[in-house]
């Protein structure tokens, strides 16, 4: 049994170190990535957050440019219908979808909170913002950040590594996912008021969803796993990742950042990279 476990651990480690194209890796200052996303702009730029700042790429990760303000930690992001909201910790800023200009200048969070996780359902104009503290405290906006209401979610882990919200399903509701590390993947179907575990995911380092298809969910466990039925069944990829992203228009295009800083891309929904 111990030998079998050792072989599994070794195989996973090798997957995380699989050589990738030399021209696809995160910037040196982004050694601790906090999020990865693809905006809904027609050019589909990548946005990478880290404690060393935010970075953008318009060539699928072959080159990167710093996102202003430079060297300021970019801790979380959420995409609205008009732009991308980025948390700088105690402040936030919103960019257009092309990541070329500011839509909203640097603004302090309500109550001087420090926001470490964000998610948005663009169609519903709803944004969720999670603050640090001894107990989970979440701000929710139903007007894309103009006004905020505090909610106290039950069942949520203290420090999610990432949040992701789907568009409305057939019942008109959005699902809010939380990647909770060793507590697994949690989901809320009531606007973040309560969470429950998603079966089949024991560890969740990050989670991403597809704007076009609310049934597509991608999780870094750290092995990349993909569901196309809202989490009922899962397909295993062949790369280990800390952060994942799904193209908002094409659920088959998946990106993953491996622990060694390599950026991997999949064109078949995460089966191969």
The DSSP annotation for the chain comes to -HHHHHHHHHHHHHHHT----TT-B--GGGSSEEEEEE-SSTT--EEEEETTEEEEESSTTSS-EEESSTTS---EEEE-SSEEEEE-SSEEEEEETTSSSEEEEEEEPGGG--EEEEEEEGGGTEEEEEEPSSS-EEEEESSTTSS-EEE--BS--SS-SEEEE----TTS---EEEE-BTT-EEEESSTTSB-EEPTT-S-BSEEEE-SS-TT-EEEESSEEEEESSTTSS-EEEEEE-SEEEE-SS-TT-EEEE-TTSBEEEESSTTS--
For the cut 80, the answer to whether the pLDDT of residue 10 exceeds it is no
pLDDT in tens, 83-110: 999 999 999 999 999 999 999 999 999 9
- Where is average pLDDT lowest: 165-179, 223-237, 251-265? 165-179
pLDDT in tens, 44-73: 999 999 999 999 999 999 999 999 888 899
Q: What is the rounded end-to-end Cα distance, in angstroms, of the chain?
A: 30
| Residue given tokens 């699928």 in the structure block | 60
| Mean pLDDT value across residues 243-266 | 96
Confidence (pTM) = 0.89
Residue 71: per-residue pLDDT: 85
User: Residues in the chain, how many?
Assistant: 273
- Give the rounded percent of residues in the chain with a pLDDT score beyond 90: 81
Phi and psi dihedrals of 110, rounded to 5?
-55, 135
The full set of domains in the chain, from first to last, is 2-266 (2.130.10.10)
Question: SS3 string of 183-242?
Answer: CCEEEECCCCCECEECCCCCCECEEEECCCCCCCEEEECCEEEEECCCCCCCEEEEEECC
Residue 3: per-residue pLDDT: 42
For the cut 90, the answer to whether the pLDDT of residue 169 exceeds it is no
- Where is average pLDDT lowest: 18-22, 142-146, 192-196, 256-260? 18-22
Torsion, Cα 101 80 161 234, to 10 degrees, reads -130
Cα separation, 239 vs 260, in Å, equals 11
pLDDT in tens, 33-43: 999 999 999 99
> Which two structure tokens, joined as six digits, stand for 184?
């697994």
| Mean pLDDT value across residues 167-194 | 94
């Amino acid at each position: 049994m111990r030998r079998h476990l050792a072989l599994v651990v070794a195989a996973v480690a090798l997957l995380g170190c699989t050589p990738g194209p030399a021209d696809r890796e995160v910037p040196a200052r982004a050694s601790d990535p906090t999020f990865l996303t693809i905006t809904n702009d027609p050019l589909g730029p990548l946005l990478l957050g880290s404690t060393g700042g935010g970075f953008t790429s318009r060539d699928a990760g072959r080159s990167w440019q710093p996102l202003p303000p430079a060297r300021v930690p970019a801790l979380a992001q959420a995409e609205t219908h008009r732009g991308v909201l980025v948390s700088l910790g105690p402040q936030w800023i919103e960019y257009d979808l092309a990541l070329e200009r500011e839509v909203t200048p640097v603004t302090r969070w309500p109550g001087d909170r420090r926001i470490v996780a964000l998610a948005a359902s663009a169609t519903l104009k709803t944004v969720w913002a999670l603050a640090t503290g001894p107990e989970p405290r979440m701000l929710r906006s139903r007007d894309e950040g103009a006004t905020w209401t505090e909610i106290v979610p039950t069942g949520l882990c203290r420090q999610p590594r990432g949040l992701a919200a789907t568009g409305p399903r057939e019942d008109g509701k959005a699902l809010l996912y939380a990647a909770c590390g060793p507590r697994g993947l949690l989901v809320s179907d009531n606007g973040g008021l309560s969470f429950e575990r998603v079966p089949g995911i024991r560890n969740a380092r990050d989670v991403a969803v597809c704007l076009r298809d609310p049934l597509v969910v991608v999780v870094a466990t750290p092995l990349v796993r993909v569901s196309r039925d809202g989490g009922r069944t899962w397909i295993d990829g062949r790369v280990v990742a800390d952060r994942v992203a799904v193209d908002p228009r094409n659920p088959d295009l998946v990106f993953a950042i491996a622990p060694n800083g390599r950026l991997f891309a999949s064109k078949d929904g995460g089966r191969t990279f």
